[in-house]
Amino acid sequence: MIEQNLAIKTADGVLDTFVCQPDEGGPHPLVIIYMDAPGIRQELRDMASRLASVGYVVALPNLYYRVGTEGNYGYDLSKIRTDDSHQQKMHDCRLSLTNAGIVADTQSMLGPLRALDGVAQGPIGCIGYCMSGQFVVAVAAALGDDVAAIASFYGVGIVSDAPDSPHLQADKVRADSYLAFASDDPWVPANVLETLPGVIDKTGWRARIEVYPNTSHGFAFPARADYSRAAGERHWARIFALLARNLKREAGA
């Protein structure tokens, strides 16, 4: 496996991005993993490496780059569940992000990432966790045919009252989309699951919704107390299938 850290220039600064890819074969399709609220950490890099091991170039951008680099966001990740001040600082970082900002960041990433050796020059895949569920939908709507597949896991903000709520742009999404939710998730209001089927029917959005039984928010992360091995492995199976049918076909693999 080849691993590197890229410094990608954006309109707002330098976006530090972890990239891993197979050390042979290729070219391989590009997939971007969008982090959850706690930020970049080894757990996410391990997940990126697992995905890369089955034939993808995987980028993991630090979405909080406007605030700081990994470990320098102003809060201690080990204290966010026990110290309200650290939890508040994490939420402040999360609230500093916007759909438009993440779309712009993604557009800034595409050129440098596609310029890397071994990257297939076709559409990309996007995977979002937690706060980034809304971002992958917004990115797919904005980038059109440049995004062939998106997956959201316990995504927050996909449906909201905000004027830029991603579900309002569902008719622009061309990507094959997979939206997975936990059965018990206080961060995802009930109206989200009530609204999405109607959005899909009205717009023709090619999206599948799945609720994982007996799970809580964070079920895919091995280091989380809410981790479920069965749900975590199902999440990987769904990702592998989604990307294989949409990206490897495009790359001629």
Instruction: Please tell me which residue, 85 or 80, carries the higher pLDDT value.
Output: 85
User: Which residues are within 8 A (CB) of 13 and not within 5 positions of it... i.e. 6 or more apart?
Assistant: 65, 66
Question: Does the pLDDT of residue 252 top 70, yes or no?
Answer: no
Separation CA 16–CA 54 (nearest Å):
24
- The whole-number pLDDT of residue 249 equals 57
Q: pTM for this one?
A: 0.95
SS3 category, 138: helix
SS3 category, 193: helix
**Tokens describing residue 202:** 């009205």
Question: Does the pLDDT of residue 251 top 70, yes or no?
Answer: no
- The whole-number pLDDT of residue 84 equals 85
- The whole-number pLDDT of residue 250 equals 52
